[in-house]
Structure 1
Amino acid sequence: MIRIEAVWLAVGSSDLRGGMDRLLGQVIGRFGVAQPHHAYVFANRRATRLKVLVFDGAGIWLCARRLQEGGFAWPQDEAATVRLSAQQWDWLVAGLPWQRMTAAAQAEAIRVI
Structure 2
Amino acid sequence: MIGLRAGLSIWIATQPVDFRRGMDSLAMLVSEAFGANPFDGGLYVFRSKRRDRVKILTWDGSGLVLYYKRIEGQFTWPPIKEGVMSLSDAQLSVLLDGSDWKHVPMRAVDQPVRAG
Q: TM-score, normalised by structure 1?
A: 0.80
Q: Which runs of 5+ in 2 are unaligned?
A: 110-116
Aligned residue for 1:46, secondary structure, equals: coil
1:96 paired to 2:112: no
Alignment length (residue pairs): 105
Distance in 1 between residues matched to 2:82 and 2:97, nearest whole Å: 25
Sequence identity, in percent? 35
User: By how many angstroms is 1:18 displaced?
Assistant: 2.0
Change over 3 Å in CA distance of 1:27–1:93 after alignment to 2:
same
- TM superposition shift of 1:30: 1.0
Query: Does 1:86 find its partner at 2:89?
Result: yes
Corresponding residue of 1:75? 78
Tell whether the 8 Å contact from 2:94 to 2:100 is kept in structure 1 after alignment: yes
For the Cα contact (< 8 Å) 1:87–1:109, is it kept in 2?
no
Q: CA deviation at 1:2?
A: 6.4
Query: SS in structure 2 opposite 1:42?
Result: strand
Unaligned 5+ segments in structure 1 are none
Give 1:86 deviation, angstroms: 1.1
Look up the match of 1:16. 19
Displacement of 1:100 after TM fit?
2.6
Within 2, Cα distance between the matches of 1:2 and 1:57? 14
Runs ≥4 in structure 1, deviation > 4 angstroms? 1-4
Instruction: For 1:49 and 1:91, locate their aligned partners in 2 and report how far apart those are by CA, in whole Å.
Output: 14
CA contact (8 A) 1:50 1:64 kept: yes
Instruction: Confirm whether residue 42 of structure 1 aligns to residue 46 of structure 2.
Output: yes
Structure 2 CA distance for aligned equivalents of residues 2 and 97 of structure 1: 19
The separation in 1 between residues aligned to 2:12 and 2:39, in whole angstroms, is: 14
Q: In the superposition, relative to structure 1, how do residues 66 and 109 fare at CA in structure 2: closer, same or farther (>3 Å)? A: farther
TM norm structure 2: 0.78
Higher radius of gyration, 1 or 2? 2
Q: 2-side partners of 1:73 and 1:53: how far apart? A: 19
SS at match of 1:30: helix
Q: CA RMSD in A?
A: 2.1
